[in-house]
Amino acid sequence: MYKLTFSPASPYVRKVMLAAFRSGFDKQLELLTDDNDIRSQNPLGKIPIVEKPDGDCLFDSRVIIDHFNREGGGLIPTSGKDRDIVLTRSALAEGIIDASLLVVYSDRYAGGEVPSKMWLDLQIGKIDKSLDFLELDIVNWSDPLGFDAANIGLASALGYLTFRNVRDWKTNRPNIQKWYEDVALKLPGFNETIPVSP
């Protein structure tokens, strides 16, 4: 069994769980809450962490997804232009998640202070520019593997934007909205991994 240290609210954890569903690892995952001593497994104190059956620990989500891909396939093409495209799109989705989390954390960890408007505007700008780009580009997201790592990453990013109410990504973005609705119906594990507060 693989042991996944997780929080049900984390978009990075959702990426890993969706990748597990997609690559056939979902039945091999034992879920552990993040209240155990995660720094003994990851000195950064960040989740997700996967402990492999041999006792080795993997972190972060990109490393775990790469492992699932190597062991089960279907997430990242092995070579060529398709691989470059999937990894670049995955990086865009990851950037949206990163910026969204920074918005959430800037308020959560402000210590009673007002978060920096310049900092928040910078993160929101990254999100908006990425979403505007995706509104035009999403029609090109043909997926030769059927729900690759990029699609999983973007589904997780959009779900987190909604969950934390970071940004309205649906208004004036019908192409992204249609894509998301299609993914919600077809992506294995989508409903089982919808983020919730712990």
pTM, full prediction? 0.94
Residue 198 domain flag: no
Q: Kindly state whether residues 134 and 61 are assigned to the same domain.
A: no
Q: Kindly state whether residues 54 and 104 are assigned to the same domain.
A: no
Q: Kindly state whether residues 179 and 105 are assigned to the same domain.
A: yes
Residue 183 domain flag: yes
Task: Check pLDDT > 90 for residue 144.
Answer: no
Structural domain including 143 reads 80-193
- Average pLDDT of the residues of the chain: 93
Domain count, the chain: 2
**71-127 pLDDT, tens per residue?**
998 899 999 999 999 999 999 999 999 999 999 999 888 777 888 899 999 999 999
User: What one-character-per-residue DSSP string does the chain give?
Assistant: -EEEEE-TT-HHHHHHHHHHHHHT-GGGEEEEETTS-GGGT-TT--S-EEE-TTS-EE-SHHHHHHHHHHHH-SSS-SSHHHHHHHHHHHHHHHHHHHHHHHHHHHHHTSTTSPPPHHHHHHHHHHHHHHHHHHHHHGGG---TTSS-HHHHHHHHHHHHHHHTT----STT-HHHHHHHHHHHHHSTTTGGG-----
d(CA 73, CA 19): 10
**Which of 19, 46, 72 represents a domain boundary (last residue)?**
72
Residue 48 domain flag: yes
**Which of 22, 45, 72 represents a domain boundary (last residue)?**
72
Q: Kindly state whether residues 63 and 118 are assigned to the same domain.
A: no
Paired strand residues for 30: 3
Q: Is the dihedral of CA 166, 62, 28, 50 positive or negative?
A: negative
**25-57 pLDDT, tens per residue?**
999 999 998 776 788 889 998 999 999 999 999
Read off φ and ψ for residue 98, nearest 5 degrees.
Answer: -55, -50
Q: Which of 97, 79, 102 is nearest to 16 (CA)?
A: 97
Strand, helix or coil at 58? strand
Q: Kindly state whether residues 29 and 88 are assigned to the same domain.
A: no
Q: Kindly state whether residues 165 and 100 are assigned to the same domain.
A: yes
